[in-house]
Chain A
Amino acid sequence: MDLYRPLSGTRLEDLDTPCLLIDLEALEHNFRLVAETYRDRPCKMRAHVKNLKSPILAHMQMRAGGTVGGVCAAKVAEAEVMVEGGIDDIFIANQVVARDKIERLCALAKQAKLKVAIDDPRNLHELSEVAEAHGVTIGVIIEVDTSMHRAGVRQPAQGVNLAKLATTLPGIAFKGVMSHQTVPGRPNKETRLIEGRRFIQWRLSPPASHGPMTWPGTSPG
């Protein structure tokens, strides 16, 4: 744990090194930019706190506007820190599998709205079982692999089956779909936008065999 606490007002050149600095003007500029971008759009930002790691920064982003009023986290422990920091809507954009962690997730759901990513029916059954025992409801969002080749369902039909299962299980509320995206190499801004749009479109298109469905989508990162 970093115990270094220089007094407010300390000159920059008097700080001990190495030292992680945040330029507050740049930070506020970035937060304002997000707020303006999302002001009149149906889609809002859900900031991923795995980079911020700090409730105060998440609160600053949410106060600036343009967000869904909640955050995204990578881990149960990060979600616990955010709930302690007064944030009450958290999406854990990862699979929570170990029994201990599912227990922690469900205990935390007594204090905040929690959603979690899923890609496996066995995991979904276990989430339901523990959520029901705790008397809570866990929101589930189906992870779709579009480009990372990491977790996530590989075929739309798998996602549809999971979604159908989610709607039948106690303690579970089906909330939508999500995907992490990456564009290989070091793409320029245009390539990044085109590829990003392609991945998102793929995720939003339901398989023809199941007829039209509209799913609220989310894309952390």
Chain B
Amino acid sequence: MERPIFKPVGTPVEELDTPALVVDLNILEKNIGLLSAYLQRSGPAAAKLRPHVESHRCPAIARKQLVAAGTVGGICVSTVGQAEVFAEHGFTDMLVANEIIPAQKIRRLCTLARQASITVAVDQVQNVQDLSDAAGLHGVAVQVVVDIHTSGNGCGVEPGQPALDLARMVQQAPHLEFAGLMSREGPIEGIQQVLDTRDLLEQAGLAVRMVCVGASYDYEVACHLTGVTEVLAETYALMDARYQQSRPQLTPAASVMATVTSRPEPGTAIVDAGQKAVGIDTGLPLVRDLPGVTAVALSAEHGRLQLSEAVESRVALGDKVWLTPWDIGTCANLYDYMHAVRDGRLEAVWAVAARGRYR
């Protein structure tokens, strides 16, 4: 567990203990507002947003996402553990966008269904049987979406007839409610396969109430496709360096504030944030607000910055440096708390309550 050094509200951000995960509230609210405004402008026929909380795991941020107009009023999570945390924080409509297989996890899911409306993904026959048996035993109703495999190496049943067969099975299972379809599809062709499957199911007499697809990178397209009911956008709220490349209308709101702990030679600065404070799984962070400074390597507890000649004299021992993580999902998962800052001053400290809830 992190050992946070709490500072009073109003503290200038530079005085926070480092490394610190810092969220700029003005930017966060702008990002959330931008998606909300887009969906509102798109009219009643457009799909609504179901924020996927995997990338921040923070109930305070999820609350802001749901308060904004244009959502279905519920969230999407990846694991039963995440669903438990968000249920404890008062969220009552959750899609667990994953297959839940072990018996003890299915039992937890069913227990949770007493407190919240739970929808879970399936992609195979035995799992449908197990879920139905457990739901019957617990006396709860579990809603089920059939997960469609459209591209990549993800989970899911093949679109078309295999999906129809599985959907029928869900509908016939005594303790399950067939809710619809979901997919972690990539390009637009993937969504089309899901929509074709939806038509097939409707023709076969199955009511497809939910079709959940899309992400932060294609919400404008996904929400306008006839048949799509929910867009599962995730990264848009906090954003990161990776998504910034393809989504310039959104701005990274989260950064890791680090301290320069060594200036061993000209052109090099070492900061106190490395892999364990930033995450490195998919790429290096970008240095914010300091042109000429580049993060070139992270080891466990150190970050190495390269300085151009022009900024050489502007980076001193003890200075603060802001790193925009390449992947905010792995970064936020490293922190128990994020510091919410407005105009350079601490406004709130938020628990990353579902951090580490990978079970």
Contacts and interface: CB of A to CB of B under 8 A. Distances in A.
Question: Do A and B interact?
Answer: yes
Interface of A: 1-2, 4, 16-19, 50, 74-75, 77, 80-81, 94-101, 119-120, 122-123, 145, 148-154
Contacts of A119: 262, 264
Contact of B317 (A2, A4, A80, A120): A120
Nearest first, the 3 A-B pairs at minimum CB distance are: A151-B262, A95-B261, A77-B3
Contact of A97 (B105, B260, B264, B300): B260
Interface size class of B (residues with CB under 8 A): 20 to 34
Interface string B20-48: 00000000000000000000000000000
B299 interface: yes
B268 A18 contact: no
Interface of B: 1-3, 5, 15, 17-18, 102, 104-105, 259-265, 268, 270, 272, 299-302, 304, 317-318, 336, 355-356, 358-359
Given A17-B102, A97-B317, 11 more contacts: A16-B104, A75-B301, A77-B2, A94-B261, A94-B272, A97-B262, A98-B18, A100-B5, A100-B17, A148-B299, A149-B304
A17 B15 CA distance: 39
Nearest to A99: B318
Nearest to A180: B299
A122 B319 CA distance: 13
Nearest to B303: A150
Contact of A98 (B104, B259, B358): B259
A106 to B, nearest CB: 15
Is chain A's interface secondary structure helix, strand, loop, or mixed overall?
loop
A120 B263 contact: yes
Given A81-B3, A122-B317, A154-B264, A97 B299 contact: no
B291 to A, nearest CB: 23
Contacts of A100: 5, 15, 17
Given A16-B359, A120-B263, A150 B302 contact: yes
A97 B3 contact: no
A80 B358 CA distance: 27
A154 B359 CA distance: 46
A115 B226 CA distance: 65
Contact of A80 (B3, B261, B300): B3
A50 B262 contact: no
A71 B236 CA distance: 43
A74 B359 contact: no
11 contacts: A1-B336, A1-B356, A2-B356, A80-B3, A94-B302, A95-B270, A97-B260, A97-B262, A98-B18, A101-B17, A120-B262
B215 to A, nearest CB: 24
Contact of A150 (B260, B270, B359): B270
A50 B104 contact: no
Contacts of A18: 358-359
